[in-house]
Amino acid sequence: MTTGKLYFYSFLLVLSVVLAYLYYNNYYYIEIPAQDLSHYYTNEPKKAENDYLNRRVEVIGQLKAYYKILGSRPVLEFRTYEGDVPVLCFFKRSQDEFTAGQIKEDQYLSVKGKCLGKDAYNFVKGVKIEVEEITPEDMTN
């Protein structure tokens, strides 16, 4: 093999690794139903933290409620199994807050964001998600 081909293949390998890294960190989300995430954190909290803490997740489920904590901080809560910790979504952008406020109770939705685990925002109990994107499912189709 010539030196030129070796450099070319090395360049392609490095480019592939960089592109895979960028894809994983910017576009890849671990998809999980809200009920499963909640149940996992309730029954195996250490393993759940290892698998999801500070990772990008796409949580799918039904809206239980949209309300304000301490009278000012808007929160979206997914419906979970009885007895499991709640899955709560906190917003960074006002447009996501507005979208969440338009979703009706029991409507399905998808939330993409960073899993903050159970220890973030200690003033409320549950698994917290920092919302990057929220998408209500159109139930008319």
CATH numbers and ranges of domains, the chain: 31-136 (2.40.50.140)
What pLDDT, on the 0 to 100 scale, is given for residue 54? 93
What pLDDT, on the 0 to 100 scale, is given for residue 85? 95
Strand partners, 115: 129
**pLDDT value at 14 more than 50:** yes
Question: What are the tens digits of pLDDT across the range 24-49?
Answer: 666 679 999 999 999 999 999 999 99
In the chain, what is the straight-line distance between the N-terminal and C-terminal CA atoms, in Å? 57
pTM summary value: 0.79
Alpha carbon distance 1, 23 (integer Å):
31
Confidence of residue 10 (pLDDT cuts 50, 70, 90): confident
What pLDDT, on the 0 to 100 scale, is given for residue 25? 62
What pLDDT, on the 0 to 100 scale, is given for residue 3? 85
DSSP class per residue in 34-61? HHHHHHHHHH-HHHHHHHHTT-EEEEEE
Question: What are the tens digits of pLDDT across the range 124-135?
Answer: 899 999 999 999
Give me the mean pLDDT over the 83-97 stretch. 94
